[in-house]
Structure 1
């Protein structure tokens, strides 16, 4: 009788739980529907009765930005020009003339022309001030607007008017854009007969190959210690961070995990092969307050797995994963969909990244930042 009673209770308990979950989800969907209707009613009322005629595109974009501003800083709505950095990370290249730009007091200047790029081949130099892009005054544009006008499809022309310190008159350059491959390892070499050094600027699609080449060159020079400089490295692609750790950490060790609300957001990453760098080569990682995201994943895994030492300042504290969803050809939204956890299970993100009043399922996390 007891066994029969237990067999009866178990299906009832499962059925009750399933019904409860379905009711909860149904209630949530109903609330979402009501909120959407309210938003549409307010939106339509404003457009039909406001004293001035509003620009639908500009007003809608501003409204969406207002919505995302209530979330974490990394959930953003992006139009075509604003997607450039995402495209650079994912593709490792862009169409342009090969110039590193600086901007101060509405003055755009050339920090450095890239080797092999159209700008350097044409004679543009560090310190040149860009006055006009295709005849338009740079001072009348934002930095992003001006930079966007300089970029473009391979084979197209852009005209830059340059002011050079040693010249009285401006110089006009007509440049043909080409494909510019982004270089993420800005320096690698031997600091002493036994100590190698690698400076990594960002984690993009090109990063694993560049770091593999840099590590191999240092090992070929009999490096016994390697310093990995991640200071002011804002991060980038999770896959690139995992690939770099694969070159350092012994096979089958946990590297990082992500947790979110969807199945695809819940993943665990392990080292998959014998590392490039032998265990007897010592590792030191330099970080500071500008080291974020993928930089913190690499530093955190090396620290948690006792593979090396971490030196510098407390890092930035960005432990949130973003996924980009394309809306149409020119617009997309980047949404935070998961959290990063380093091998010890600690959460990298600084607390209070979103106001608690917007969250239904708030949980306490074991965070590095208290």
Structure 2
């Protein structure tokens, strides 16, 4: 008993010391002290009376997970294993199925299936809801645990049960895990009458330079208009999205800002370069366009640099900061939100296109199947049979003029 009291006395002291020294003195209220006292008493009670002996770290990790889970779907506690896996994903390669996910209104929701991945080939769509992974209901899992279950040994299979659309159609699919290598610019070509097309599947470190290279090649071929396809682009690096926009707008233009509770979280990002092209621009978006994609679409609208065509975007406009802890674990915390140049909040609102062109689920599935067949033949995808692209082409042909 003395040993137990000593362990939890020390734990309580460490928790209180860590928590309170991490806060400025004026932010420490009596409620904080009372809550920490309640927490340590509960911890001691479990250690003393629970039927089985429990590893203290397991309890601490469980408490941290619970605290973060009460905030928003993107804030979470990462134990050392999960934090290590996250760093592998950030590096660009991992064994999985290629899904970008979030929790929305209590459901595990697909933001996008990344181009060329098992999930893309399986026909999984934005806003599909995952109900079970390998027979386990996802309502029992947090986001980190769900992602962990989707990953596994290269070549192994995973079974999903999905709920799709307003009619709540149930779909079962089985996929073989593969090495997912995330590419940024997955397609670039000159279409008709000097209209260049660039598909950015995710914003990565190389995206701005690669984007500039493609624009310069288009200019040699007589570029007259530009289509930037951000459909099913779940985001990526904020700085890369800003640097892509710098190639399209004048120096000094505000591209995006972030706002949080701390002064260090209130940032503005202005273009440091002059644009490399002044041709009319169309940006394609849909429900799978999120985060950095929404930043680009919002800036294009607010700066009147072009038009946004397609469907309403996902509405993920928050900034997550990963804070490593001393034992190899980490806290991933939402610390700010994104705002467009005119101050529009992206989080939970999304970007509504200037020209709304909705595709039915049947159209989306048919187009995706067509794209899959074409990619298997190593042939170009049927861009001109894509109604959203065709409308963007028509708008450019009609001589739309925009500010630069």
TM range (shorter): 0.5 to 0.7
Counterpart of 2:148 in structure 1 is 144
Aligned-partner Cα distance in 1 for 2:291–2:189: 25
Report the alpha carbon displacement of residue 216 of structure 1 after superposing the two structures with TM.
2.5
Evaluate the alpha carbon distance shift between residue 334 and residue 100 of structure 1 in structure 2; reply closer, same or farther with a 3 A threshold.
Answer: closer
Moved more, 202-211 or 232-241: 202-211
Aligned-partner Cα distance in 2 for 1:69–1:140: 23
Counterpart of 2:314 in structure 1 is 316
Moved more, 256-265 or 24-33: 24-33
Counterpart of 1:300 in structure 2 is 298
Aligned-partner Cα distance in 1 for 2:156–2:30: 58
Counterpart of 2:374 in structure 1 is none
Report the alpha carbon displacement of residue 65 of structure 1 after superposing the two structures with TM.
2.2
Report the alpha carbon displacement of residue 161 of structure 1 after superposing the two structures with TM.
8.0
How many residues matched? Answer: 273
Counterpart of 1:256 in structure 2 is 256
Evaluate the alpha carbon distance shift between residue 89 and residue 273 of structure 1 in structure 2; reply closer, same or farther with a 3 A threshold.
Answer: farther
Does 1:214 find its partner at 2:195? no
Moved more, 67-76 or 299-308: 67-76
Report the alpha carbon displacement of residue 56 of structure 1 after superposing the two structures with TM.
4.0
Evaluate the alpha carbon distance shift between residue 318 and residue 255 of structure 1 in structure 2; reply closer, same or farther with a 3 A threshold.
Answer: same
Question: SS of the counterpart of 2:227?
Answer: strand
Contact 1:90 1:204 in 2 (8 A): no
Evaluate the alpha carbon distance shift between residue 84 and residue 291 of structure 1 in structure 2; reply closer, same or farther with a 3 A threshold.
Answer: farther
Aligned-partner Cα distance in 2 for 1:89–1:248: 30
Which deviations, in whole Å up to 9, do the C-alpha atoms of 1:109-134 show, x marking residues without a partner?
Answer: xx9699xxxxxxxxxxx99xxxxxxx
Which deviations, in whole Å up to 9, do the C-alpha atoms of 1:224-257 show, x marking residues without a partner?
Answer: 1111111111112211111111011111111111
Counterpart of 2:40 in structure 1 is 40
Contact 2:203 2:241 in 1 (8 A): yes
Evaluate the alpha carbon distance shift between residue 113 and residue 338 of structure 1 in structure 2; reply closer, same or farther with a 3 A threshold.
Answer: closer
Contact 2:312 2:351 in 1 (8 A): no
Which deviations, in whole Å up to 9, do the C-alpha atoms of 1:271-311 show, x marking residues without a partner?
Answer: 111112x22x1110111111111111100001000000001
Matches within 5 A, 1:343-362: 343-350=341-348
Q: Give ranges in structure 1 of 5+ residues lacking alignment.
A: 1-23, 104-110, 115-125, 128-138, 151-159, 163-176, 352-366
Matches within 5 A, 1:154-193: 182-193=182-193
Contact 2:185 2:198 in 1 (8 A): yes
Question: SS of the counterpart of 1:67?
Answer: helix
Contact 2:98 2:117 in 1 (8 A): no
Evaluate the alpha carbon distance shift between residue 53 and residue 252 of structure 1 in structure 2; reply closer, same or farther with a 3 A threshold.
Answer: same
Contact 1:349 1:368 in 2 (8 A): no
Does 1:289 find its partner at 2:293? no
Counterpart of 2:140 in structure 1 is none
Contact 2:97 2:150 in 1 (8 A): no
Counterpart of 1:169 in structure 2 is none
Report the alpha carbon displacement of residue 88 of structure 1 after superposing the two structures with TM.
6.0
| TM-score scaled by length of structure 2 | 0.59
Counterpart of 1:356 in structure 2 is none
| TM-score scaled by length of structure 1 | 0.64
Report the alpha carbon displacement of residue 195 of structure 1 after superposing the two structures with TM.
1.3
Bigger Cα Rg: 1
Report the alpha carbon displacement of residue 149 of structure 1 after superposing the two structures with TM.
4.8
Aligned-partner Cα distance in 2 for 1:200–1:308: 17
Report the alpha carbon displacement of residue 326 of structure 1 after superposing the two structures with TM.
0.6
Aligned-partner Cα distance in 2 for 1:195–1:317: 29
Which deviations, in whole Å up to 9, do the C-alpha atoms of 1:5-61 show, x marking residues without a partner?
Answer: xxxxxxxxxxxxxxxxxxx96474332222122112112211221123335444443
- Superposed CA RMSD in Å reads 3.5
Which deviations, in whole Å up to 9, do the C-alpha atoms of 1:147-206 show, x marking residues without a partner?
Answer: 4555xxxxxxxxx689xxxxxxxxxxxxxx9xx974211111122241111111112223
Counterpart of 2:273 in structure 1 is 273
Aligned-partner Cα distance in 1 for 2:84–2:197: 30
Counterpart of 2:87 in structure 1 is 87
Q: Give ranges in structure 2 of 5+ residues lacking alignment.
A: 1-23, 100-114, 123-133, 137-145, 158-178, 353-404
Contact 2:297 2:351 in 1 (8 A): no
Question: SS of the counterpart of 1:209?
Answer: helix
Counterpart of 1:227 in structure 2 is 227
